[in-house]
Copies of this chain bind each other. A is one copy, B any other.
């Protein structure tokens, strides 16, 4: 059973579930956006991962969810489960967490520590002007579909680690230190009409935009932005799934009406970030990938 079926079947009693963050109105003009993500040793990161990288990623993946809504980070809580108190590990963890929190101007306001197998749950809350939040439900037929940066690097790193290979520094950086696209998201407010972060793979995450917006998409395989390493890997193996279905990318996928295409170009230039058009929103529901002649299995939480 995938996570979405699980959540829908057992936990979807209230409004709010079904986007990167839940939104709660606090007054006439503003909404809180809140999100929670757990990282577990051996499931979400290899046992050898440094305390610094674990702390970074645990916060970054939550910041990525705030980014996907266009929310400005406010505060977070930390539930930390540790097998034992290791001074050096805790120093590394807290220093790294603090540095990232400072960079994105988000405050640690509370926490809980427990004894058990290593697991980190962060709940991050941000704020966004009402009607401005980047939902999954706003895509319209004719919109262009963009993704930031490149696809598949984190998955390729993870595959190499599992095969006892050592990934390059560039791949490891994408795997351990994904950059939350907060700045990009701020600029997409009023430009993009839907947005999601690619944490479970492009195919699966984009399909959430499609179902929420009740539209389809036509993706051009050759347009997918790839790092040289992932491009080389695909050239050797024809395994496009690494870019299409690999999780852990934490890039943004968003749709833009044609009237705002020029803004995307300006944003890319201003922020020095690659923003690539990978397809268009179409009326016929479903996800068409031109050029792909196999199916890719998406990331499953179970």
Which residues of A line the B interface, CB within 8 A?
1, 3, 6-7, 9-11, 13-17, 21-22, 24, 26-27, 32, 34-38, 40, 42-44, 74-75, 77-79, 81-82, 84-85, 90-91, 93-94, 97-98, 101, 107-117, 119, 121, 123, 125, 301-302
Q: In the docked arrangement, what's the CA distance between A13 and B109, Å?
A: 9
Give the shortest distance, in Å, between A76 (CB) and chain B (any CB).
Answer: 9
Q: With a CB–CB cut-off of 8 A, which chain B residues contact A37?
A: 79, 112
A78 touches B11 (CB 8 A): yes
Give the number of copies in the complex.
2
B13 touches A108 (CB 8 A): yes
Contact of A26 among B16, B27, B98 (CB under 8 A): B27
Known contacts A81-B38, A121-B38: A10-B114 contact under CB 8 Å = no
Q: With a CB–CB cut-off of 8 A, which chain B residues contact A93?
A: 10
Q: In the docked arrangement, what's the CA distance between A168 and B221, Å?
A: 65
A123 touches B77 (CB 8 A): yes
Give the shortest distance, in Å, between A80 (CB) and chain B (any CB).
Answer: 8
Q: With a CB–CB cut-off of 8 A, which chain B residues contact A3?
A: 112-113
Known contacts A77-B36, A114-B38: A26-B24 contact under CB 8 Å = no
A109 touches B38 (CB 8 A): no
Q: In the docked arrangement, what's the CA distance between A14 and B107, Å?
A: 6
**Nearest 3 interchain pairs by C-beta:** A22-B109, A16-B109, A123-B123
Contact of A34 among B13, B110, B301 (CB under 8 A): B110
Q: With a CB–CB cut-off of 8 A, which chain B residues contact A108?
A: 11, 13-14, 16-17
Give the shortest distance, in Å, between A9 (CB) and chain B (any CB).
Answer: 8
Contact of A110 among B22, B40, B82 (CB under 8 A): B22
B81 touches A112 (CB 8 A): no
A17 touches B110 (CB 8 A): yes
Nearest B residue to A44 via CB reads: B114
Q: With a CB–CB cut-off of 8 A, which chain B residues contact A15?
A: 107, 109
Q: With a CB–CB cut-off of 8 A, which chain B residues contact A74?
A: 24
Q: In the docked arrangement, what's the CA distance between A125 and B16, Å?
A: 15
A43 touches B301 (CB 8 A): no
Q: In the docked arrangement, what's the CA distance between A113 and B79, Å?
A: 15
B36 touches A110 (CB 8 A): yes
Q: With a CB–CB cut-off of 8 A, which chain B residues contact A38?
A: 79, 81, 112, 114, 121
